[in-house]
Structure 1
Amino acid sequence: MNTPIQTLRVVFAASALASSVILALFVRGRAEWTTAFWLQIAGASVALCALICFVAFRRGGLRLEAMPLWPFARVFLRQLAIVYAALAIAITALALAIIYAITRSGPNALALAVLAGLWLSLWLAPGVAALTTWRRLRRATVGDIPA
């Protein structure tokens, strides 16, 4: 059984949409939450996600060709775990530096930074893992073809 051709694209698009919603809320989150606010957030998020997906999907990007399901799942899940851990550490370190610089409270800054790192990584990791999985599978496929 082969993996559906668009699997990585769907995972990447869902991650990009979730991340663009978070970014839009971060930029405009202090505004009054009216219907117009939510429509602006939705419009900005969809537009940003469409732009990101256009760039990622052009020239056949993130498209699988005749990939067996189990090797794909093994590579994707390993990449997802590695990317999640790396993003969580990086985001936590960045958030800790920023929050500590503002609040000058170590325990509170650390708690908030860890929470931000773990939560934001949940939304970013699938998209980044889709990219790294596609590159790894493409490199393995191209490496199998004799020159």
Structure 2
Amino acid sequence: MTTPRHILRVVFALSALACSVILVLFVRGRAEWSDAFWLQLAAASSVLCAAACVVAFRDGRLRLDGVPMLRFVLVFLRELATIYIVSGVAVTAIALAVIYGVTRSGANALALAVLAGLWLSLWLAPGIASFTTWRRLRSATAGDIRQPARP
């Protein structure tokens, strides 16, 4: 059984949509939550997501051809776990610096930074893992026949 061709594109698109909603809420979160706000949120998030997908999918990127399902699942889960941990630590460190700079309270800043790092990484990691999985699977299938180095 082979992996569906566009599975990584679907995962990336959903991750990009979630991240664009979070970004728009972060930028406009203090606005009044009226019907117009929600329509603007949906429109802005859709435009950001579509732009990210156009850039990410050009030239046939994130498309799998003939990859066994088991190999895909093993590679994707390993990449997802790695990316989640790395992005969680990175977002936590950035959030800790920003929040501590504002509040000057170490315990509160650490608690909020860890929460932000773990939560934001849930939405960010699948999109990045899609790229790293695609690159790893593409290099494994395309890299079987390597060209000798030129002198």
Check whether TM > 0.5. yes
Whether 1:80 and 2:76 are equivalent positions in the alignment is no
Partner SS state of residue 143, structure 2? helix
Shift of 1:145: 2.9
The Cα offsets for residues 103-123 of structure 1, whole Å up to 9 and x where unpaired, read as 000000000000000000000
Query: Which stretches of structure 1, 4 residues or longer, exceed 3 Å deviation after superposition?
Result: none
Shift of 1:146: 5.1
In the alignment, what sits opposite 1:29?
29
Partner SS state of residue 110, structure 1? helix
In the alignment, what sits opposite 2:68?
68
In the alignment, what sits opposite 1:90?
90
Partner SS state of residue 144, structure 1? coil
Partner SS state of residue 64, structure 1? coil
In the alignment, what sits opposite 1:139?
139
Gaps of 5+ in 2: none
CA distance in 2, matches of 1:15, 1:44: 15
Partner SS state of residue 36, structure 1? helix
The Cα offsets for residues 7-35 of structure 1, whole Å up to 9 and x where unpaired, read as 00000000000000000000000000000
Which residues of 2 match residues 104-115 of structure 1 at below 5 A?
104-115=104-115
CA distance in 1, matches of 2:43, 2:145: 44
Whether 1:130 and 2:130 are equivalent positions in the alignment is yes
CA distance in 1, matches of 2:46, 2:100: 33
Partner SS state of residue 84, structure 2? helix
The Cα offsets for residues 58-90 of structure 1, whole Å up to 9 and x where unpaired, read as 010100001000001000000000000000000
Q: What amino acid does structure 2 have at the position aligned with 1:95?
A: A
Partner SS state of residue 5, structure 1? coil
Q: What amino acid does structure 2 have at the position aligned with 1:66?
A: G
Q: What amino acid does structure 1 have at the position aligned with 2:99?
A: I
Instruction: Calculate the TM-score normalised by the size of structure 1.
Output: 0.99
